[in-house]
Amino acid sequence: MSKSILLVGCGNMGQAMLGGWIETNVKPNDIFVVDPVSKNLDAARMKGCRAFSSPLLIEETYQPDVVVLAVKPQVMEDVIPTYRRYAEKGALILSIAAGTRISLFEQYFGADTAVIRTMPNTPAAIRKGMLVSCANSHVSDEQREICDTLMNAIGVAAWVDDEIHMDAVTGLSGSGPAYVFHMIEAMTAAGIAEGLPEELAVTLAKVTVAGAGELALQSDIDIAQLRKNVTSPNGTTAAGLDVLMGQDGLNSLMTKTVAAAAKRSRELG
């Protein structure tokens, strides 16, 4: 992709995106990075990008095709006014800040600015992310393709037409890796409680979750049927599922979990 990218924020997610883009043939010298943290700038420079501690240090003639905002939602309003000049000249604004509404960027950059809001998740660090985007009416087909190219470089890209769905996306896939990590912790603890050595219990939990997830992803079989395929009548799996699928089991707990995260996303917005 021969497009100029200005990446604002090069923390964990910023570096994940940067690595994925370069691996998929985005030229490093087409990427400018702004971050106040020196180690993040060093990481960007090591990849061949131009890196700056402040946007004020970028030459005035520079104009990116897309500005990717990868800063915390809590500081977004302090950061973005400096970048209005790029939006005024037609740059696509792409934000990955959780809970930050498209309307905020239209407020600062102008109502006719092309804005895409994307919710990534942390497996993007190993190019296995889930990235869901929503665009305002000013985003062109070409700009959607730019977003798809950038997001597919670090995982699987998808779209929602209505921004109202982004809170549920945040609650499910955005926060979802933490739920899975906690499940691994819980499975490990349960194995230890049954007498397994901790190191073995951790390995069993990690590999089981990773393998089941990959099987679910690659298989054409319905998820419920995959579960049934493991479950012999009156067998060990059935005994475990009797607990997990009980009235106050995983379905109820996960519904409450995603709802709480989605509610917080709405509050942040």
**DSSP states along 226-258:** HHHHH--TTSHHHHHHHHHTSTTSHHHHHHHHH
d(CA 41, CA 194): 47
Tell me which fold the domain 5-170 belongs to.
Rossmann fold (3.40.50)
Quote the pLDDT of residue 3: 87
Per-domain residue ranges for the chain? 5-170, 176-268
Residue 85, number of CB atoms within 10 A of its CB: 14
Say whether 176-268 and 5-170 share the same fold.
no
Averages of pLDDT over runs of 10 residues in the chain (269 residues) are: 90 92 91 95 95 94 96 90 94 93 95 96 94 97 95 96 95 96 98 98 98 96 97 95 94 96 88
pTM across the whole model = 0.90
Quote the pLDDT of residue 142: 95
Torsion angle, CA of 168/80/104/164, rounded to 10 degrees? -10
d(CA 76, CA 117): 13
- CB 95, CB 268: distance < 8 Å: no
Q: Please list, residue by residue across 133-146, b when 16 or more beta carbons sit within 10 angstroms of its beta carbon and e when fewer do.
A: bbbbeebeeebbeb
d(CA 252, CA 187): 18
* Whole-number Cα distances in Å, 185 to 152, 181, 191, 204, 244: 30, 6, 10, 11, 16
Quote the pLDDT of residue 1: 62
CATH number for the domain running over 176-268: 1.10.3730.10
Residue located via tokens 């062109």: 140
- Token couple for 119: 């919710």
- CB 15, CB 25: distance < 8 Å: no
